[in-house]
Amino acid sequence: MRRPRRLRTTPAMRRLVRETHVHPAQLVLPVFVREGLEAPREIESLPGVRQHTLDSLAGVIDEAAAAGIGGVMLFAIPEVRDATGTAACAADGILNLAIARAAEASAGRLVVMADLCLDEFTDHGHCGVLAADGSVDNDATLEVYAQMALAQARAGAEVLGLSGMMDGQTAAVRAALDAEGLIDVSILAYSAKYASAAYGPFRDAVESELVGDRKAYQMDPANRREGLVESTLDEAEGADIVMVKPALPYLDVLADVAAASAVPVAAYHVSGEYSQIEAAAERGWIDRRVAHLEAVTSIVRAGADIVLTYAAVEAATWLKEDM
């Protein structure tokens, strides 16, 4: 009689035969920096996550580096927004100032990544500039993304997270960077980014002014094959890393992309996924530590090389303890 349980008898045995291992260096922490704050501010719908000031950012970087995680992904909230997201390209804009602070604080201990999208900077909340009919103008947006990329790279970002889901955005940004000699700056393309209900807490975190939805440019949750189409296009356009977002509801897409990709694959355990665990744990319905580690392990098991999660620092600590 075959008895698979023999390989589950003790913690040491289970560790010996474990198929999937998650390392802290695979984890990336999303970080929010808000212009005009005097002290960090709690985000109600993202328990344990804060909007930070430029001054408090260094402490976040130090904690993340000490935990041994791989990087941080910076998002910023400006005090003033306009139709074209002017603050996104300004050298003294809050995101570019945050990048410079993070790069200085990091001193090479982790990778500084920056979100490259206009939704935090526009007064209409969309990820690009609008055409006369109110739709997002894809090609006009690419011109802004190129300028935004140059500003972020010059501020010290090592990886640019292209999250806007505009057609051709990877090629446009790569061309702009290369033309300015910024050839060592990497592109993380949010290739398969779905129009998900799980972004709600994130929109609270960035104080989104979006009215309506982004279904005309983010992907339909019903489509699987399209995720591979998008990631293949981004890879061909020069993406150094491709991403699937959200993570857990799209593990099938993640597995497809990982099986076909010649570049590293990332997945974003997004705000709604994180907050579901936090809310259930707060009520005593699930074990918080076990749930977060199970989520990250599942994402890596499906094929992710890199996982963005708001639990990155704690998860890194737990992983080291489990080792």
Q: In which band, very low, low, confident or very high, does the pLDDT at 323 lie, cut at 50, 70 and 90?
A: confident
Give the integer Cα–Cα distance in Å for 311 and 288. Answer: 10
97/7 Cα distance (integer angstroms):
52
The candidate with the shortest Cα–Cα distance to 168, out of 244, 236, 270, is 236
CA-to-CA distance for 216 and 130, rounded, in angstroms? 13
For 245-286, write each residue's pLDDT tens digit. Answer: 999 999 999 999 999 999 999 999 999 999 999 999 999 999
With contact defined as beta carbons under 8 Å apart, do 229 and 284 qualify? no
Q: List, for residues 110-120, the tens digit of each pLDDT value.
A: 999 999 999 99
Task: Give pTM, 2 decimals.
Answer: 0.96
Mean pLDDT of 172-194: 98
Residues 242 and 264: their CA atoms lie apart, in Å, by: 7
Domain housing 175: 4-322
* Residue 1 DSSP SS3: coil
108-125: string of b/e by CB count within 10 Å (b at 16+)? eebbbbbbbbbbbbbebb
> What is the pLDDT, as a whole number, of residue 57?
97
- Residues annotated as catalytic are 193, 245
pLDDT tens digits along 10-49: 999 999 999 999 999 999 999 999 999 999 999 999 999 9
Q: Which of 150, 182, 174, 161 is nearest to 267 (CA)?
A: 161
Task: Quote the CA–CA distance of 159 and 170 in Å, as a whole number.
Answer: 12
Domains held by the chain: number: 1
The dihedral sign for the CA sequence 245, 250, 251, 254? negative
Query: What's the pLDDT score for residue 14?
Result: 94
pLDDT of 283 reads: 97
The values of phi and psi at residue 188, to 5°, are: -105, 110
Res. 182 pLDDT band, cuts 50 70 90: very high
CATH of the domain at 108: 3.20.20.70
Residue 195 in this model has a pLDDT that exceeds 90: yes
How far apart are the C-alpha atoms of 52 and 62, rounded to whole Å? 14
Q: How confident is the model at residue 208 (pLDDT cuts 50, 70, 90)?
A: confident
